[in-house]
């Protein structure tokens, strides 16, 4: 059995009931076969892959908080500090009832390679809780965030581990967590990113993941003599990533006709009205039915169905495993030319393989959504120098990072004989830097 397959088998055996983690490890390690083949004796001796798939540290803790009726609730908090070979652990905090250790490990594992691909000095980590922010009052959200940080604060720091947002964690939650960290440490430092603009947050961080997704897609299309102008796009999700992906797609001349949340989806033949979507999701925190009520050109459908829409480009921006094989087949049947992943691992393994076989331009999450964490690293730089850059400066750097990232994964894919396969390109390019750093730092 190959070294890669041995390690995959051990991961499955040693981490039972963590299917998303198995999926992420399998995809990455199988793509690394060509690199491993060239270095097998050394990698085996140094147990490089075993060290790569085992988090440096994983924390699991109780989070008790009191609701508005005086009832106490107990949630579980997690932080997985996966790999610090190239910089402090960096990655978001997910607040969603589906969160468990396996989900956080899959996200933390992906984050190692994504962060490496940004070209910036950040290691991989992820955290969160099975707390459900939906329907909670601001005071309840604050109570949860303060309790969560009361344990987490002792494990993080501006040069140790710098969490940020993810599903269910936006500016409001980051603000409450930052306030509690500062109070406990008596220290004002860049310990979280995605902060408010008047206390160390970076301009363009809110937009960065969605904008970055469109910047890398635009570059990949340009390299094929294509452009976004006049393209019809299907987007899933209606949160931070989806909203700013739609906004930038429109700025670049495309028309986005769908968005979705966990209860249903919108088809808007006139193109999604981003201002209305922001008002409903960012200000009112309401459901998408409110969008259809306010917009005559829009139709609301219950359940899932975004990928049945005829489109040129698909941008899954909601959650993992939301684009299945049947969806991929439908998209191809409808003439899709590109799929770029805004969410983390939104395509199932068989959907990904099918899209690659069909030679659809496929930009995998760890490359396509890296603009968010890249801009978080720019926020860390600004915090370190105690300066605040303009929107234009951050946005320009984000564009440069995404364009370089595309060429980096394109070159890596070509170098190993997988031209156009950016799953292989991203995994190899992300891995090489981390592996070299781990090698240089000895057996730790």
261 binds ligand NDP (CB under 6 A): yes
- Tell me whether residue 168 or residue 416 sits nearer to ligand 2IT (CB atom): 168
- Tell me whether residue 166 or residue 268 sits nearer to ligand 2IT (CB atom): 166
Question: 101-117 and 19-31 helices cross at what angle (nearest 10)?
Answer: 30
Alpha-carbon distances of 52 from 28, 39, 84, 220, 407, rounded to whole Å: 11, 15, 11, 30, 25
Pick the piece of the chain touching ligand NDP (CB under 6 A) from 141-149, 324-332, 336-344, 381-389. 336-344
Q: Which of ligand NDP, ligand 2IT, none sits in contact with 86, Cβ below 5 to 8 A by type?
A: none
| CA triple 219-221-224, angle to 5 deg | 115
319 binds ligand NDP (CB under 6 A): yes
Give CA 271 to chain center in angstroms: 25
Q: Which residue is nearest to ligand NDP (CB)?
A: 239
Taking the complex as a whole, the smallest distance from the CB of residue 47 to ligand 2IT amounts, in Å, to: 27
Taking the complex as a whole, the smallest distance from the CB of residue 126 to ligand 2IT amounts, in Å, to: 7
DSSP 155: G
Taking the C-alpha atoms of residue 433 and residue 4, their distance in angstroms, rounded to an integer, is: 19
| Of the candidate residues 262, 330, 404, 439, the single one contacting ligand NDP (CB under 6 A) | 262
Burial grade of 284 (CB within 10 A; 0-12, 13-18, 19 or more) = exposed
Give the footprint of ligand NDP on residues 112-131 (CB under 6 A).
Answer: none
> What is the distance between the terminal CA atoms of the chain, rounded to a whole angstrom?
26
Binding site for ligand 2IT (CB under 6 A): 90-92, 114, 164, 166, 193, 344, 372-373, 376
Half-sphere exposure for 17 (CA within 13 Å, toward CB): 2
Q: Which residues pair with 65 in a beta bridge?
A: 73
Taking the complex as a whole, the smallest distance from the CB of residue 213 to ligand NDP amounts, in Å, to: 9
Pick the piece of the chain touching ligand NDP (CB under 6 A) from 78-86, 312-320, 329-337, 436-444. 312-320
Taking the complex as a whole, the smallest distance from the CB of residue 137 to ligand 2IT amounts, in Å, to: 25
- Tell me whether residue 79 or residue 96 sits nearer to ligand NDP (CB atom): 96
- Tell me whether residue 38 or residue 98 sits nearer to ligand NDP (CB atom): 98
Q: Which residue is nearest to ligand 2IT (CB)?
A: 92
239 binds ligand NDP (CB under 6 A): yes
Alpha-carbon distances of 327 from 172, 255, 308, 339, 354, rounded to whole Å: 34, 20, 7, 12, 11
Taking the C-alpha atoms of residue 234 and residue 339, their distance in angstroms, rounded to an integer, is: 10
**CA dihedral angle for residue 34, residue 37, residue 42, residue 44, rounded to 10 degrees:** 100
Residue 261 in tokens: 């949340």
Taking the C-alpha atoms of residue 400 and residue 334, their distance in angstroms, rounded to an integer, is: 33
Taking the complex as a whole, the smallest distance from the CB of residue 162 to ligand 2IT amounts, in Å, to: 7
Would residue 396 show up in a list of annotated catalytic residues for this protein?
no
Q: Which of ligand NDP, ligand 2IT, none sits in contact with 90, Cβ below 5 to 8 A by type?
A: ligand 2IT
Helices then strands, counting H and E runs in the chain, come out as 17, 12
Q: Which of ligand 2IT, ligand NDP, none sits in contact with 273, Cβ below 5 to 8 A by type?
A: none
Say which of 90, 105, 114, 126 is annotated catalytic. Answer: 126
Taking the complex as a whole, the smallest distance from the CB of residue 161 to ligand 2IT amounts, in Å, to: 10
Active site members? 126
Site residues (CB under 6 A) for ligand NDP?
96, 98, 165-168, 209, 237-242, 261-263, 317-319, 342-344, 369, 372
């Amino acid at each position: 059995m190959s070294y890669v397959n041995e390690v995959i088998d051990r991961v499955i055996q040693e981490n039972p009931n963590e299917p998303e983690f198995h999926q992420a490890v399998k995809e990455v390690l199988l793509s690394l076969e060509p690199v491993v083949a060239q270095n097998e004796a050394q990698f085996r001796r140094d147990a490089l892959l075993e060290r790569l798939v085992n988090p440096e540290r994983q924390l699991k803790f109780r989070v008790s908080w009191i609701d508005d009726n005086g009832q106490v609730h107990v949630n579980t908090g997690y932080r997985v500090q996966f790999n610090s070979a190239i910089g402090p652990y960096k990655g978001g905090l997910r607040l969603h009832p589906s969160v468990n250790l396996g989900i956080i490990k899959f996200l933390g594992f992906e984050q190692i390679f994504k962060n490496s691909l940004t070209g910036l000095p950040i290691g991989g980590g992820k955290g969160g809780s099975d707390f459900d922010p939906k329907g909670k009052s601001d005071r309840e959200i604050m109570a949860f965030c303060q309790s969560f940080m009361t344990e987490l604060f002792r494990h993080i720091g501006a040069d140790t581990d710098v969490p940020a947002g993810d599903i269910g964690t936006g500016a409001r939650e980051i603000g409450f967590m930052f306030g509690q960290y500062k109070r406990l440490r008596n220290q004002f430092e860049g310990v979280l990113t995605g902060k408010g603009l008047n206390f160390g947050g970076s301009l363009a961080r809110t937009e960065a993941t969605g904008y970055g997704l469109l910047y890398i897609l635009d570059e990949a299309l340009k390299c094929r003599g294509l452009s976004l102008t006049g393209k019809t796009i299907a987007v899933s999700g209606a949160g931070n990533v989806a909203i700013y992906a739609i906004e930038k797609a429109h700025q670049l001349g495309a028309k986005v006709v769908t968005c979705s949340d966990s209860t249903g989806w919108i088809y808007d033949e006139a193109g999604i009205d981003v201002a209305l979507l922001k008002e409903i999701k960012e200000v009112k925190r309401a459901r998408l039915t409110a969008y259809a009520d306010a917009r005559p050109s829009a139709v609301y459908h219950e359940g899932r169905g975004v990928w049945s829409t005829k489109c040129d480009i698909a941008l899954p921006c909601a959650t993992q495993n939301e684009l299945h094989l049947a969806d991929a087949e439908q998209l191809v049947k409808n003439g899709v030319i590109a799929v770029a992943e805004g969410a983390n691992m939104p395509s199932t393994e068989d959907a990904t393989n099918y899209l690659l076989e069909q030679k659809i331009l496929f930009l995998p999450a760890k490359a396509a959504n890296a603009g968010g964490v890249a801009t978080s690293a720019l926020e860390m730089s600004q915090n370190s120098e105690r300066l605040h850059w303009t929107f234009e400066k951050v946005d320009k750097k984000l564009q440069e990072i995404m364009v370089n990232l595309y060429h980096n994964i394109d070159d890596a894919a070509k170098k190993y004989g997988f031209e156009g396969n950016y799953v292989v390109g991203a995994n190899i390019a992300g891995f090489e830097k981390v592996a070299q750093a781990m090698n240089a730092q000895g057996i730790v």
